[in-house]
Amino acid sequence: MAKTKYIMHQCAYCRRETKMEFIGGQPSEDINAEVIKVWYRCGKCKHSALLTLTPASQMKKKRAVAINRELCTPYAKEKIFSVGENIYHSEWDDVGKVVRKDKMSNGIHSIVVTFEKTGERKLLENIQA
Ligand SMILES: [Zn+2]
């Protein structure tokens, strides 16, 4: 690899946030790797340090599986939900988190849910049968 890679990192030796130069190991090429171990050299004190990095793709994957289906409230339009609550939508077989609540001008309550598969959806809540 011809291009030199730099990252900003706090050096363990001079204890300053410095531009560290990549000198060895595998940089973030393998998107399936749990963590990446790489050698970086401090631009200030020239000490080398083995850093353990988490690839951005891995962090994204971890966020996506954060919802435990067992702990989700099954969605029904008669129920009332709170922001941050995890819900399960049986029709779509999908789980999501309530990110916002709205009340429309006609008095109908709604929630905005970010679903893992379906994405952001608006659902009704507190509907009296
Ligand atoms: Zn240093």
pTM: 0.50
CA gap 17, 96 in Å, rounded: 37
Q: How many angstroms separate the alpha carbon of residue 64 from the centre of ligand 1?
A: 36
Q: How many angstroms separate the alpha carbon of residue 98 from the centre of ligand 1?
A: 44
Mean pLDDT rounded to a whole number for the chain: 85
Share of the chain above pLDDT 90, in %: 53
The predicted pLDDT at position 61 comes to 58
Q: How many angstroms separate the alpha carbon of residue 4 from the centre of ligand 1?
A: 18
For residue 53, report the phi and psi dihedrals to the nearest 5 degrees: -110, 150
Topology (CATH) of 6-64: N-terminal domain of TfIIb (2.20.25)
The predicted pLDDT at position 64 comes to 53
Q: How many angstroms separate the alpha carbon of residue 41 from the centre of ligand 1?
A: 8
Q: How many angstroms separate the alpha carbon of residue 22 from the centre of ligand 1?
A: 14
Q: How many angstroms separate the alpha carbon of residue 52 from the centre of ligand 1?
A: 17
- Average pLDDT on 110-114 reads 96
Q: Dmax of the chain from CA atoms? A: 70
Q: What is the pLDDT of residues 35-47, one digit of tens each?
A: 778 889 999 999 9
Q: What is the pLDDT of residues 40-66, one digit of tens each?
A: 999 999 999 888 877 666 666 555 557
**Domain range list for the chain:** 6-64, 69-125
CA gap 24, 26 in Å, rounded: 7
Determine contact, residues 4/23, Cβ cutoff 8 Å: no
Q: Which CATH number fits domain 69-125: 3.30.70, 3.40.1350, 3.10.50, 2.30.30?
A: 2.30.30
